[in-house]
Amino acid sequence: MATVSELVAPTLEDVREARAFIAPHLPLPTPLVSADALSAILGVEVRLKLESLLPTSAFKVRGGVNLVGRDPTVRGGIMAASTGNHGQSLAWAGARFGVPITLFVPEGANPIKVASMRALGATIVEHGTDYDDARAECERRAARTGGRYVHSGNEPYLIAGVATATLEVLDAWPEVDVLVVPVGGGSGASGASIAATASSRRVEVIGVQSEGAPSAYLSWRERTTVTRDAIHTFAEGLATRSPFELPQRILREKLSDFVLVSDDELRRAMHALLLNAHVVAEGAGAAATAAAWKLRDRLRGKRVALWVSGGNATEASIMAALSSGSLKED
């Protein structure tokens, strides 16, 4: 198995091959829908890329299917760490292709996602207080047992798989100017950047992360590895303490811009999506909408695709979003 420094970033051809492979397994393309009421609030023409309508209610299943179905090194089984969406992706693909999956999750992880992973047949190990604790334990056990560890970002098959969503946007809306994509570890934004920069016209890709978990943003900005001792966000899909090396390499070369949003902005974006677009989004899934609100003056006059990367919102997070107030209240 290659070290992370030896991994080669996917090319546009890799993304096209991934699209051809995953197409029979997933309901693709996912909808890219106009959102007139939301556009009016933002003052920006936006369309929503509804990755939340995939089988695991999150975008990562694209990468899971591409990796589990095509990587010959995973046939004997996979070990991985996840706050939920990466784990659901591997569990769903493992069930489809007959590959055993063991997932390490932090204690108190999103119960909807954990229940889904169990229902799909994955073995669940709870460890630590956050993703990085679970990841460290998973890496230790994989090294001890010789298991195939699948990192949630440092995997070319995963990045190529999730990049297929961008090809769908470019096909459906050739005039799009800007793609706004949430960043936890960065597989989604790095994949979008690979596909967008290969487009025949200039398309910006803007990443968005929680200001309570800014390691990927800071590492991209400073062009060095920046790790945080603690994270402070309810949006588990954005909650990483350490940046991921392969996505960072891609983001530093290809990402147009990066922005941080607060938890309050995430909740208000969830509120706006639910009431004005009738779309359920988890915290990370609302991050692109929160960023569009924050950058609305800069984005005015442009055509903007917002990723709704996941819809696995808990009842508590939805209730908090509904009581948080509207994006109109600035």
pLDDT digits (tens, 9 = 90+) for 167-213: 999 999 999 999 999 999 999 999 999 999 998 889 999 999 999 99
pLDDT the model gives residue 13: 97
Could you tell me if 93 and 318 are in contact, meaning their C-beta atoms sit under 8 angstroms apart? no
Which residue's entry shows tokens 């990723």?
307
Joined together, the tokens standing for residue 107 give 């204690």
Q: Which domain holds residue 264?
A: 4-58+155-322
pTM, two decimals, is: 0.95
Among 118, 145, 172, residue at a domain's last position: 145
Question: In the chain, pLDDT over 90 holds for what percent of residues?
Answer: 92
Residues 165, 137 share a domain: no
pLDDT the model gives residue 6: 87
For residue 327, tell me if it sits in a domain.
Answer: no
The kind and range of the H/E element at 232 are none
Query: Which of helix, strand or coil describes residue 145?
Result: helix
The kind and range of the H/E element at 104 are strand 101-105
The kind and range of the H/E element at 209 are strand 204-210
Dihedral, 131, 269, 193, 130 alpha carbons, nearest 10: 0
- Choose among 190, 208, 210: nearest CA to 251: 190
Average pLDDT score over the chain: 95
Dihedral, 191, 192, 193, 198 alpha carbons, nearest 10: 100
Residues 221, 303 share a domain: yes
pLDDT band at 1 (very low <50, low <70, confident <90, very high): low
The count of domains in the chain is 2
Joined together, the tokens standing for residue 272 give 């706006």
Residues 314, 252 share a domain: yes
pLDDT band at 62 (very low <50, low <70, confident <90, very high): very high
Which residue's entry shows tokens 């070290």?
3
